[in-house]
């Protein structure tokens, strides 16, 4: 078989699968993307109801550099294909313990905002930025490389980083070296929720998340984040990628330990490689017989730690709340108890913290004239025997509406014109998320790097993984990085030269087998 006749099937049209489709097609592989839902994007898709548009999951775009490089490699300009607005302020933080912080990428104004709460901490803001700029620069090559065994962790360059990464510290513990006021630390650590984790358990490495916001910006794509994945799918099609929508994969076909294609109700698709861009635990249990998995068996998957879930409300309303920021995060005074309720007790908080996106103050395309959208997220436990969502949903909805009054969203009930609610049970049913965990496996130290499912799947030859369930982890820029790592490995195994690597850097394909944070 000629190299240009090589075929790959990608299971799932989420952002990681779409990025891999673009990169593989650009290198001459014949790619088919099989998606169970009727639209592309996975959790990065658009919900449309009664003329209103909502992001399903991610509501902002962080560190667009990775996707810019992927678009450029395919011959496209991200800025032209997907117009984005850099937000300033980036978001408003409201503390139940008192005070608030209007987070801005303008360093001088941010220092002033911090000083209004803690003058001493304001003087340390520059120190925080410099420390994390150094941390990111030195760790970036490892985020851009596959981790396939403990030997990758034991490389001399990695061992030299240990004092800087301080893996023995939590994120909050690391921030204590910069900020004394707990509210300020929460302002630079709530981003651990992007990984579905508590800042008191999340590894200290992830202080780079808040740094990325201030250094590289928080962006709103016009039309929402779903516009990004729609553009990616269009580009993939222009490169020759075939899409099969409304086509759930029943099983990955495995012969003599190798993935040789996939089976759906309507198609049997043979392939030289299968890329799975679906929730890892859910996909393995549904698509791959337990007997075919040596390491990642059902029994082992059940013992792993999983992220939190989210209770979602997508509300189309009359009028607008112009005094409410594009992004608002409310951190209850009992925030630590909120986290304990989620991670340890697996029950619902009496006064939950929450997040609201009021994107219509920036983007009028999301709602009919004179109306607007509200996206409301409350972090909650993943599926648990302690919470019956069929019974709890009405009560928790009322609680969420009362909580929103704390950020100035009053009189909401009478203004709602369309509404959709998604609970952990809904995430599990509609998106095949194991336990309804919206951020896949937790990013604890014992489930990171080589201890996460590998990009080149270790249980089955010719099978590869992209997305938040594999290395490097969750979050859109990191997921795009996983696509670059996985695509390089797949092409290497097929003995095909990537057609999207910068020719001026011959070492990139050797030392950086993926790309970035």
| Six token digits for residue 423 | 């609970």
For 182, other C-beta atoms within 10 Å of its C-beta total 18
**Within-domain flag for 105:** no
Asked, for residue 472, whether it belongs to a domain, the answer is yes
Question: Please, which residues have CB within 8 angstroms of residue 350's CB and are 6 or more apart in sequence?
Answer: none
- pLDDT for res 4: 60
Q: Which of 206, 238, 263 finishes a domain?
A: 206
- Both 281 and 391 in a single domain? no
Give the CATH number, domain containing residue 466: 3.50.50.60
List Cα–Cα distances, 407 to 329, 330, 402, in angstroms.
9, 7, 10
**Does the structure show a pLDDT above 70 at 76?**
yes
**Which string of DSSP letters, residue by residue, matches 437-504?**
-TT-B---GGGSGGGSPPSB-SSSBTEEE-STTSSS-SSHHHHHHHHHHHHHHHHHHTT---SSS-TT
**How far is 328 from 101, CA to CA, in rounded Å?**
10
213 falls within a domain: no
Judged by average pLDDT, the poorest of 145-149, 321-325, 422-426 is 145-149
Q: Is the dihedral of CA 148, 150, 151, 156 positive or negative?
A: positive
Tokens of 18: 């779409």
Bridge partners of 275, per DSSP, are 10, 464
Question: In this predicted model, which residue has the larger pLDDT, 510 or 115?
Answer: 115
- Does position 40 have pLDDT exceeding 70, yes or no? yes
Cβ contacts of 85-89, under 8 Å, gap ≥ 24: 85/219, 85/220, 85/222, 85/362, 85/363, 86/217, 86/218, 86/219, 87/60, 87/217, 87/218, 87/219, 87/220, 87/326, 87/327, 87/362, 89/325
Q: What is the mean pLDDT of the chain?
A: 91
Parallel, antiparallel, or unpaired for β 258-264 and 327-331? unpaired
Q: What is the pLDDT of residue 514?
A: 27
Q: Do residues 470 and 280 make contact, with C-beta atoms less than 8 angstroms apart?
A: yes
- Quote the DSSP letter at residue 385: T
185 and 239 both lie in a single domain: no
User: Does one domain contain both 312 and 424?
Assistant: yes
pLDDT digits (tens, 9 = 90+) for 218-264: 999 999 999 999 999 999 999 999 999 999 999 999 999 999 999 99
Mean pLDDT of 189-214: 84
Confidence at 501, pLDDT banded by 50, 70, 90: low
Beta strand 242-244 with 30-34 is parallel
| Same domain, residue pair 400 and 483 | no
491 pLDDT more than 80: yes
Q: Which of 206, 233, 253 is the last residue of a domain?
A: 206
What distance in Å separates the CA atoms of residue 458 and residue 451, rounded to the nearest whole number?
11
Structural domain count, the chain: 3
What pLDDT, on a 0 to 100 scale, did the predictor assign at position 209? 87
Q: Residue 122 above 60 pLDDT?
A: yes
The answer to whether residue 363 is domain-embedded is yes
Same domain? For 318 and 403 the reply is yes
Q: For residue 321, what are the contacts with CB-CB under 8 A and spacing of at least 6?
A: 358, 361, 372, 374, 408, 409
Judge whether residue 338 has pLDDT over 70. Answer: yes
For 138, the domain range is: 114-206
Same domain, yes or no, for 240 and 200?
no
Same domain? 322 vs 295: no
Question: In angstroms, rounded to a whole number, what is the distance separating the alpha carbons of residues 370 and 356?
Answer: 20
| Separation of alpha carbons 15 and 424, rounded Å | 21
Does 408 map to a domain?
yes
User: Do residues 398 and 320 both lie within one domain?
Assistant: yes
- The arithmetic mean of pLDDT across residues 187-196, rounded, is 82
Using an 8 Å Cβ cutoff, are 273 and 495 in contact? no
Q: Based on the domain organization, do 148 and 258 belong to the same domain? A: no
Tell me what pLDDT residue 475 has.
86
Q: Are residues 417 and 334 in the same domain?
A: yes
Contact criterion met (CB below 8 Å) for 325 and 87: no
Q: State which of 206, 233, 256 marks the end of a domain.
A: 206
**For residue 379, is it within any domain?**
yes
Token output for 511? 């030392």
User: Hey, which residues does 325 pair with through a beta bridge?
Assistant: none
271 inside domain = yes
Q: Is the pLDDT score of 506 beyond 50?
A: no
- What's the average model confidence in pLDDT over 60-73? 93
List pLDDT tens digits, range 79-108.
Answer: 999 999 999 999 999 999 999 999 999 999
Q: What are residue 264's DSSP bridge partners? A: 249
Query: 479 and 461 in one domain?
Result: yes
Considering the domain boundaries, does residue 108 fall inside one? Answer: no
Average pLDDT of 474-483? Answer: 92
Does residue 504 surpass a pLDDT of 70?
no
Per-residue pLDDT, 370: 97
Tokens 């509609």 belong to 430
Least confident of 200-204, 342-346, 380-384: 200-204
Residue 471 sits in the same domain as residue 449 = yes
With pLDDT > 90 as the criterion, what percentage of the chain qualifies? 79
Choose among 271, 293, 275, 273: nearest CA to 284: 293
pLDDT at position 512 is 26
In this structure, of 54-68, 96-110, 136-150, the range with the lowest mean pLDDT score is: 136-150
Instruction: Return the biggest CA–CA distance within the chain.
Output: 68
Look up the pTM and report it: 0.92
Give me the pLDDT at residue 168, please. 67
């Amino acid at each position: 078989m000629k190299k240009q006749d090589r075929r790959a099937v990608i299971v799932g049209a989420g952002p990681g699968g779409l990025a891999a489709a673009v990169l593989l097609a650009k290198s001459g592989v014949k790619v088919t993307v099989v998606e169970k839902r009727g639209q592309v994007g996975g959790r990065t898709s658009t919900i449309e109801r009664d003329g209103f548009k909502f992001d399903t999951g991610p509501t902002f775009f962080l560190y667009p550099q990775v996707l810019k490089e992927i678009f450029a490699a395919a011959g496209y300009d991200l800025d032209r294909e997907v117009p984005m607005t850099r937000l300033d302020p980036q978001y408003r933080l409201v503390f139940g313990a008192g005070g608030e912080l209007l987070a801005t990428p303008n360093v001088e104004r941010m220092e002033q905002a911090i000083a209004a709460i803690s003058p001493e901490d304001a003087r340390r803001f520059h120190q925080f930025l410099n420390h994390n700029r150094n941390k990111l620069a030195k760790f970036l090559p490892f985020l851009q490389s596959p981790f396939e065994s403990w030997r990758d962790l034991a490389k001399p360059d990695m061992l030299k980083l240990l004092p800087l990464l301080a893996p023995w510290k939590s994120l909050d513990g690391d921030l204590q070296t910069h900020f004394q006021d707990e509210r300020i630390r929460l302002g630079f650590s709530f981003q651990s929720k992007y990984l579905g984790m508590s800042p008191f358990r999340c590894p200290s490495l992830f202080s780079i998340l808040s740094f990325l916001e201030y250094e590289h910006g928080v962006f709103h794509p016009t039309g929402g984040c779903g516009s990004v994945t729609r553009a990616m799918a269009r580009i993939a099609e222009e490169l020759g990628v075939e899409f099969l929508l409304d086509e759930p994969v029943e099983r990955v076909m495995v012969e003599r330990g190798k993935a040789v294609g996939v089976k759906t109700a309507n198609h049997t698709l043979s392939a030289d490689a299968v890329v799975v861009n679906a929730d890892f635990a859910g996909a393995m249990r549904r698509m791959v017989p337990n007997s075919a998995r040596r390491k990642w068996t059902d029994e082992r998957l059940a013992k792993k730690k999983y992220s939190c879930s989210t209770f979602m409300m997508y509300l189309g309303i009359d009028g607008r709340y112009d005094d409410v920021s594009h992004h608002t995060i409310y951190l209850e005074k009992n925030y630590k108890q909120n986290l304990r309720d989620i991670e340890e007790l697996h029950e619902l908080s009496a006064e939950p913290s929450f997040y609201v996106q009021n994107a219509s103050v920036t983007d009028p395309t999301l709602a009919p004239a004179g109306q607007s959208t509200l996206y409301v997220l409350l972090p909650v436990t993943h599926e648990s025997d302690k919470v019956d969502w069929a019974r709890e949903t009405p009560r928790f909805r009322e609680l969420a509406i009362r909580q929103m009054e704390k950020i100035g969203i009053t009189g909401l009930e009478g203004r709602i014109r369309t509404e959709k609610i998604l609970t952990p049970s809904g995430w599990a049913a509609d998106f095949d998320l194991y336990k309804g965990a919206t951020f896949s496996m937790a990013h604890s130290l014992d489930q990171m790097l080589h201890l996460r499912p590998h990009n080149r799947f270790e249980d089955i030859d010719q099978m590869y993984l992209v997305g938040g369930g594999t290395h490097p982890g969750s979050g859109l820029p990191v997921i795009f990085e996983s696509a670059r790592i996985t695509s390089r490995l797949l092409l290497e195994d097929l003995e095909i030269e990537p057609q999207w690597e910068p020719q001026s850097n011959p070492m990139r394909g050797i030392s950086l087998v993926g790309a970035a944070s």
